Amino acid sequence: MEGNVCAPRPGSPEDAASGPRTEVSAPRGVRAEGKKRSGSPLRAPTASTFTSRGPLRRAPPRTLRPRPPRSSGQPRAAPGSPGRLLPAAAGVGRGAGGAGRGLGSRAAGAQGGAGPSPQPRPRGRGLPAPRPPPPTLRFLFARRRGGRHCAPRLEPAAARRGGRRDASAAMAPVLSKDAADIESILALNPRTQTHAMLRSTSAKKVDKRHWKRNSDKNCSKCEKLENNFDDIKHTTLGERGALREAMRCLKCADAPCQKSCPTNLDIKSFITSIANKNYYGAAKMIFSDNPLGLTCGMVCPTSDLCVGGCNLYATEEGPINIGGLQQFATEVFKAMNITQIRNPSLPPPEKMPEAYSAKIALFGAGPASISCASFLARLGYSDITIFEKQEYVGGLSISEIPQFRLPYDAVNFEIELMKDLGVKIICGKSLSVNEITLSTLKEEGYKAAFIGIGLPDPNKNSIFKDLTQNHGFYTSKDFLPLVAKSSKAGMCACHSPLPSIRGVVIVLGAGDTAFDCATSALCCGARRVFIVFRKGFVNIRAVPEEVELAKEKKCEFLPFLSPRKVELKGGRIVAVQFVRTEQDEAGNWHEHEDETVRLKADVVISAFGSVLSDPTVKEALSPLKFNRWNLPEVDPETMQTSEPWVFAGGDIVGVANTTVESVNDGKQASWYIHKYIQSQYGASVCAKPELPLFYTPIDLVDISVEMAGLKFLNPFGLASATPATSASMIRRAFEAGWGFALTKTFSLDKDIVTNVSPRIIRGTTSGPMYGPGQSSFLNIELISEKTAAYWCQSVTELKADFPGNIVIASIMCSYSKNDWMELSKMAEASGADALELNLSCPHGMGERGMGLACGQDPELVRNICRWVRQAVQIPFFAKLTPNVTDIVSIARAAKEGGADGVTATNTVSGLMGLKADGTPWPAVGIEKRTTYGGVSGTAIRPIALRAVTSIARALPGFPILATGGIDSAESGLQFLHSGASVLQVCSAVQNQDFTVIQDYCTGLKALLYLKSIEELRDWDGQSPATVSHQKGKPVPRIAELMGKKLPSFGPYLEQRKEIIAENKIRQKEQNAGFPPLERKHFIPKKPIPTIKDVIGKALQYLGAFGELSNLEQVVAMIDEEMCINCGKCYMTCNDSGYQAIQFDPETHLPTVTDSCTGCTLCLSVCPIIDCIKMVSRTTPYEPKRGLPLAVNDLMSGEKGEGIAPELSQVPAT
């Protein structure tokens, strides 16, 4: 071991002769006793050559200074002597006394012992004593001895405090093992299972109760809900839930869900918009067909309507939550505070034909009348008046649907949208012989009337005819309005107290209203609620959503009972007697008087439906004819009554049973009122009903753009790919609204191709997700199989029929000047607006000397562009490949060759996947062979964005047609910000169909418009700022109410419920009234940006890594109220980060520690949007280097004294 002096093993002759030794093992490259060491001990870890302050300057090389030998009689250094540079011992576990083989055996201690330090005793072959290092730092070099490796280590003086070190202090810290504090953090980190787990059943029952999030099935007591009118709908969604659900939707052809919707909503389209984060586009689609889209999203019995027809019912995961998606999109639009406007294509009101100033009256401000008035106003009618009996508007939506299902502000929002179009509402005026009748309307010059008053009177059983609220008896018509007035802010100016409901409540009925009464009774303080009905469970008329809510709130169900007698005591109800009912085989119902049931009760609520029984109303409707149900006779197709100028809809017609059906009645009536009025003025309307869409100022935003002298109607076009397989497909795309299209790439006839199959497959980048929404595709399809003549003639036809749309001919040739000039002239002669030179097809064509073979060499690209520039006068663009090292050099060559711009980028060459048997997919022929194909879709968007930004930065102002993962207005805006001028789309159409263009255009208009509204500056595009929520519903901040944080499961969930219940009661006692609701109108305070304004906006933020500041650091902050305690942040921080998150074993609440470096992995894997946010670090960031930088210099073998530096010279760790 020449040049590397090591301690002999304990028990060896040398050891016995010389006793314990103090030895030095020098690092590699350090000379000891004038000889270079021949051994190769472990190389010490080296520090980065960069620090937060810039490049690290290494100290000059140093060598170890040998110490003089000591005699055999000289004692070892005693504890308490100055710390010294010491060797690693030949074993592990050797302590201060020197017993055993231990890493870290030392014969030095801290300074300050009594008397002079003893001199080391001489040894057989010693070294001169080295200079002692500072007492605050000790270092042991790595060494190799007998196959064992000893790691370098630091030992602070604190470990030697007291003059003598114990064994644990003497042990060297192992850098490759977690420290004790990190081990405690890792306590709950997953570990691979090596054995079966064992825990008793009784213990598991305790565990289950602790972690339970749903209701305990053994718990029968009702939850305290007094004065709690918070949203209880299961369908409510936040942004995260809405996006996941929308992505799951199949967006079916001829969608059955739309056929099952009474108002004919284009459900496929609005869910597509939600999936693309175009919430305005979704709301526009909804309100276009349903002016009460928010109300219906909240209360629609979707399980019996649209959801009932969902094709995903045939799959394991089940149907889409359509109502929740509808509610989410319309609520986001509501938060935008943007007004409705008239159809922009209509002339100003003063220039409309006379018929549109005809006076129209509507009775009742409920869903049917609001719908009818909205559509009439959209058609252009300017004199529309609604007469409402009550002092509030909204009908049953306001008065009889509880706040926890339909809040007042939702209905008021839709009423305000209607009023934006000029509809007038007069409250306190009813349809009655004492006020307004059809006859008086006629006399006042009204040309048409709509009756939408509903059924205002309760259907009361005769046994309750003499009972009042003082006895404890309510009808639904009495009870629900009382509850609404006290819980719906804005319904009335004053604050009405909740009905005082205590004890046991019996609700009679099995419809939606009965179940609303039951849950509302709990909110009024009822201890127990029984829902009693005449028939069985299978005959419950209420929708499943309502029944499930009542069941969840612990209401009890009693079927097959019919009330017979009410018992009173002291003027109050004390019990109700019932008889049993039964259905015979013929379907007839019988009541058995000999089978009775007596139920004690304090309050009875009758919900047996509604009727029209007020004679003054009937008389006011004269001369209308009535049917056998005592309702007006109405044509169900036109909603016209026996009087041609009078129409009716909603409950009063007897056909509609739900809010959404009433809305459709009003919608249906509006068209035929329009048709009737026009006929009275000698005008006609089209045979097929065509009602206007919903419009706002967003729809007026101009998204046209100019590039290379060409005017594009909008920046979205079809790429030269599968959506442009034929000219007829391009025609349909233009009809749908696409701004431009490229033909499928075509060649001269001598280069014609024939494709193989299969050739286009789904990507594996989405994991096991099947159906639409694929993040990538791979294709081995070649260019068009159609001839150049076909495409040239098609271009001529398309330009003739769509002069405003841009048609770009995509062409390809081999590296032949004659071929390029011939084909480009042919394409120009066809009338194409521009050419695209396909120099980038990544498969197949390159083997023929075309496509990629021409596009990877700047010289070839430059020459081809020069040839085409000589041949044509129209603009042309070179389509670039991403399969190069430097795409900018290719773009620069195209520009130098005379190209007017470039397309960036084509598909990325790849192999999508192999099956378990090793065969590829796609596999062609019986030999199952394949080739590398082109990967497209959102998976390559990062590559395309890099390409576009790189070109835009290098060649400012050079036109770029972007392609590669554009699947929404939001992603399209990213490319515009990156420097592109127009956007080519392919994979998104493969995922869906041509109609996505409507979503793209409305989405881009909305994104531009919202940039001009100061009040929405904290929104991210169309995504509002996230409030603390669980299951999409706002949650109170418990920490502010009680001073500590609680998760939402097990005993903590029960505590939360109790705290919320107590807080609700306090609010009830303190609440003296509601502040009036004021609708906000957000108006642009700065110019709405154009497409030109946003092109290249992001380039200012891009640069080299060295330009980034390492002084402005961030750390993670977790919102415990939103946290669902999954621990994903904790796990990724442990196994991929810095072990900076603690995870409480009881509450599973994560806590970020001071070790957080702001890497943002936790935020990236968190399943809840904005549950984790990155906030500015308030303290300086000091990286943990592992070993001090100066020690790394020493260990790297540099010449010098070999003395550890003073602690003041070592950067803090």
Residue 983 near residue 954, CB atoms below 8 Å: no
Which residue among 555, 841, 854, 986 is the active-site one?
841
Residue 317 near residue 354, CB atoms below 8 Å: no
Q: Which residues contact 319 (CB under 8 A, 6 or more apart)?
A: 307, 308, 310, 312, 313
CA distance 715 to 960: 12
Task: List Cα–Cα distances, 1029 to 213, 231, 1025, 1033, in angstroms.
Answer: 16, 12, 12, 5
Here the tokens at position 687 are: 């045979």
CA distance 108 to 555: 79
Here the tokens at position 65 are: 């200074």
Q: What are phi and psi of 671, to 5 degrees?
A: -65, -40
Q: What is the DSSP letter of 316?
A: T
List b or e across 1037-1050, with b for residues whose CB sees 16 or more CB atoms inside 10 angstroms. Answer: ebeeeeeebbbbbb
Here the tokens at position 261 are: 């919707």
Write out the DSSP string of 524-582.
TT-SEEEEE-SS-GGG--S-HHHHHHHHHTT-EEE-SEEEEEEEEETTEEEEEEEEEEE
Say which residue the tokens 């590669």 belong to. 964
Q: What are phi and psi of 907, to 5 degrees?
A: -70, 160
Q: Which residues contact 106 (CB under 8 A, 6 or more apart)?
A: 84, 86, 96, 138, 155, 165, 170
Say which residue the tokens 């005008």 belong to. 683
Task: Return the sign of the alpha-carbon dihedral for residues 831, 832, 835, 840.
Answer: negative
Q: Which residues contact 198 (CB under 8 A, 6 or more apart)?
A: none
SS3 144: strand
Cα 520 → chain centroid: 33
Residue 16: count of CB within 10 angstroms of its CB: 10
Q: What is the CA radius of gyration of the chain?
A: 40
CA distance 1168 to 1158: 18
Rounded to 10°, the helix 727-736/996-1010 angle is 40
Task: Report long-range pairs for 1029-1032 (Cβ below 8 Å, ≥24 apart).
Answer: 1029/238, 1029/1122, 1030/1121, 1030/1122, 1030/1124, 1031/236, 1031/238, 1031/241, 1032/236, 1032/237, 1032/238, 1032/241, 1032/242, 1032/324, 1032/328
H or E element in which residue 166 lies = none
Here the tokens at position 1189 are: 């930088």
Task: Report long-range pairs for 51-57 (Cβ below 8 Å, ≥24 apart).
Answer: 51/1189, 51/1211, 52/1110, 52/1111, 52/1181, 52/1183, 56/1189
Say which residue the tokens 């010059």 belong to. 445
Rounded to 5°, angle at Cα 358 from 356 and 360: 115
- Catalytic residue status for 524: no
Reference 819, options 720, 745, 747, 746; nearest CA is: 747
Here the tokens at position 511 are: 């419809």
Residue 382 near residue 356, CB atoms below 8 Å: yes
Write out the DSSP string of 836-890.
EEE----SSGGGGT-THHHHS-HHHHHHHHHHHHHH-SS-EEEEPPSSSS-HHHH
Residue 489 near residue 409, CB atoms below 8 Å: yes
CA distance 948 to 953: 9
Residues with catalytic roles: 841
